[in-house]
């Protein structure tokens, strides 16, 4: 290794205190990001993708931890490892948001019915159930709907537009029972956009 470093014009100190910590950092960013995506695919029942990601996650982690033990006296390796974990968590969440896979259950609670919101949902073929309920301060209106995550932002914007004080909750949904809700396979949004542009 030392001969190779000398041939490349890299000193041993530069390698140990800069290049190696950077390699550990990026390896940790990679495996933590993959871990976040793997959990997301597991939650959405993607049985073929999750094990594949798990393989690379474990491989990258072993490479990173192996370098830690080889440079156990170098404190920068520990800092790089921890910094990579934190950064990888952020990167994984970023990609998870961009992929927007899966479906969510949304509950909207308002003091009265919102016909404008229901018309909005009917126009977009959303399945929903609207029922009357009893709240702390009297009668309320409770609306349930299941939608793809990629449509969530638009829906929440509409809810706030119709009623600023509407109370809503959002939960992940692993599966739905009706085949009609599974007509379109869940795909990352950027893939859908690329495919639509290719058709044009």
Q: Which two tokens stand for residue 151?
A: 């449509």
Q: Which CATH number describes the domain made up of 103-174?
A: 3.30.70.120
User: What gap in Å lies between CA 110 and CA 163, rounded to an integer?
Assistant: 8
User: What gap in Å lies between CA 99 and CA 192, rounded to an integer?
Assistant: 10
pLDDT at 94: 85
91 CB contacts (<8 Å, ≥6 apart)? 29, 32, 33
pLDDT at 107: 92
Where are the chain's structural domains? 2-99, 103-174
| pTM metric for this prediction | 0.58
Give 81-116 pLDDT, tens digit per residue: 899 999 999 998 888 777 766 788 899 998 888 889
pLDDT at 73: 78
């Amino acid at each position: 290794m030392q001969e190779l470093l000398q041939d490349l014009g890299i000193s041993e100190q530069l390698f140990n205190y800069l290049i190696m910590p950077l390699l550990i950092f990026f390896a940790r960013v990679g495996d933590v990001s993959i871990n976040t995506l793997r959990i997301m695919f597991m939650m959405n029942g993607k049985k073929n993708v999750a094990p594949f990601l798990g393989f690379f996650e474990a491989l990258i982690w072993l490479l990173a931890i192996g370098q830690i033990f080889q440079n156990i006296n170098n404190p920068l390796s520990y800092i790089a490892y921890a910094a990579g974990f934190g950064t990888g968590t952020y990167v994984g969440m970023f990609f998870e948001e961009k992929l927007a896979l899966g479906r969510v259950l949304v509950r909207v609670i308002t003091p009265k019915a919102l016909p404008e919101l229901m018309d909005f949902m009917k126009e977009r073929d959303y399945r929903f159930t609207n029922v009357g309920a009893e709240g702390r301060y009297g009668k309320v209106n409770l609306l349930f709907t299941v939608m793809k995550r990629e449509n969530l932002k638009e829906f929440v914007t509409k809810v706030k537009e119709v009623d600023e004080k509407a109370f809503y909750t959002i939960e992940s949904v692993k599966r739905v029972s009706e085949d009609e809700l599974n007509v379109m396979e869940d795909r990352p949004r950027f893939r859908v956009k690329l495919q639509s542009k290719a058709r044009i």
